[in-house]
Amino acid sequence: MQGTVMANSFYDDLETRSADAREAALLAALPEQIHLAQRSTPAYGLILAGIDPMSIASREALAALPVTRKSNLTELQGREPPFGGFSAVPPGGLARIFASPGPIFDPEARRADYWRFARALFATGLRTGDVLHNCFSYHFTPAGSMFESGAHALGCAVFPAGTGNTELQVQAIAAVRPAAYAGTPDYLKIILEKADETGADLSSLRLGHVTGGAFMPDVKRFYQNRGLEVFQSYGTADLGMVAYESAAREGLILDEHVIVEIVRPGTGDPVADGEVGEIVVTVLNRDYPLVRFATGDLSAFMPGSSPCGRTNRRIRGWLGRADQTTKVKGMFVHAGQIADVLKRHPEVLRGRLVVDRADGADAMVLKAEAADTGTGLAESLAASLTSVTKLKGGVEIVSPGTLPNDGKVIEDLRKYEG
């Protein structure tokens, strides 16, 4: 379905500016953001030491900077609690402090719509005077605050429902008559099914915005069959909003205040447009200025812009996890190690380590795409594989385009019994 472009279709003019104007504005803001991170956070003072911020004015220059991995935040924050030296605001100067699983501590500064969810909720269809039934958690994790602050920025009222207590959720919706639901993709279905059992009237609900889990096709059909318009978004507790769905329902449109890269898992190297890789985000946030923050999630850029009229780039949504560490013969093998092997052989276009069982033992084969195998390429790749992983493995040279475009660098085919 394609959305109809109307006068009130867009949150602001940023959404419809030309791609060139947007890119120029983002890159113009980037050097100051790098400078801010260096001078206002101890962590980036060290990570970006010696880097001239004025030289970081292109995507190529940005791609040369170190990656900060979400998977490392627990350890980094443990060394310097609570934020590992990444926050530009001391704890007492914040509005709220949250803890996500890990634990990873997340700051919320004293700014309206700090997490930038108003834009996504506007695209969902919320307008001033609507009521949002917010089923995201209000304690420990920031999701409840993310949606409440976004709804308030639109002039909407919020019922802070939180999670669980399904019968009470049904009673509250029937009494308050909200226009929209926010929560995980499956929970609205549970609420509606409970209402069907009890005969409660939840017909006021016409919109939904979901995130925090995969939005499965059967659940989408359930909502469509009931006449509900339910949209999804992608964000994290560290970054806030990253990308959101519009009425066009063709991918997720990037937020206007993030610079997104898609990189090969285990590296900081951007992949070609359309190739699946890890989402890396630089957010233009003065309070928590994360630079090249690797989320651990997979996605890919889509060509062109959305039929809804928004001109920013789009991603395909969440396509899985980039953390592909496995154990072979008792030793950990990481995606970054496979990337190191491939970097030693520029003639290899893409590679994938396939791990399986053979003759009662772990076995691994590196499948490598190469246009010209050259003399001894398989043998030299095998030697590099052993050098980097300290494990022996086979090598199979395959034609370019043979390997699936799914972001996998390590594919574990072994069957595990629980």
> Taking the model in full, what pTM does it have?
0.86
Residue 326 has pLDDT above 90, yes or no: no
Residue 6 has pLDDT above 80, yes or no: no
Residue 386 has pLDDT above 50, yes or no: yes
Query: How many angstroms separate the CA atoms of 300 and 298, rounded?
Result: 7
Task: Give me the pLDDT at residue 214, please.
Answer: 83
How confident is the model over 217-232, as pLDDT tens digits? 999 999 999 999 999 9
Q: Model confidence at 247, in pLDDT bands (50, 70, 90)?
A: very high
Residue 416 has pLDDT above 60, yes or no: no
- Across 74-88, 370-384, 385-399, least confident range: 370-384
Token couple for 319: 């396509």
pLDDT mean over 256-264: 97
Token couple for 171: 């009673």
Q: Which phi and psi angles does 233 have, rounded to 5°?
A: -145, 170
Q: Which domains does the chain have, with CATH numbers?
A: 325-412 (3.30.300.30)
Residue 330 has pLDDT above 80, yes or no: no
Residue 4 has pLDDT above 50, yes or no: no
Q: Report the chain's mean pLDDT, rounded to a whole number.
A: 93
How confident is the model over 268-313, as pLDDT tens digits? 999 999 999 999 999 999 999 999 999 999 999 999 999 999 999 9
For residues 217 and 25, which has the higher predicted lDDT (pLDDT)?
A: 25
Q: Look at the alpha carbons of 107, 108, 109, 110 in this order and tell me if their dihedral is positive or negative.
A: negative
C-alpha distances out from residue 193 to 180, 190, 197, 323, Å: 17, 5, 6, 36
Please list the alpha-helical segments (H only) found in 16-142.
19-40, 42-47, 59-63, 73-79, 118-124
Q: Which phi and psi angles does 108 have, rounded to 5°?
A: -125, 115
- Across 94-103, 107-116, 122-131, least confident range: 94-103
- Across 21-35, 192-206, 387-401, 402-416, least confident range: 402-416
Residue 418 has pLDDT above 50, yes or no: no
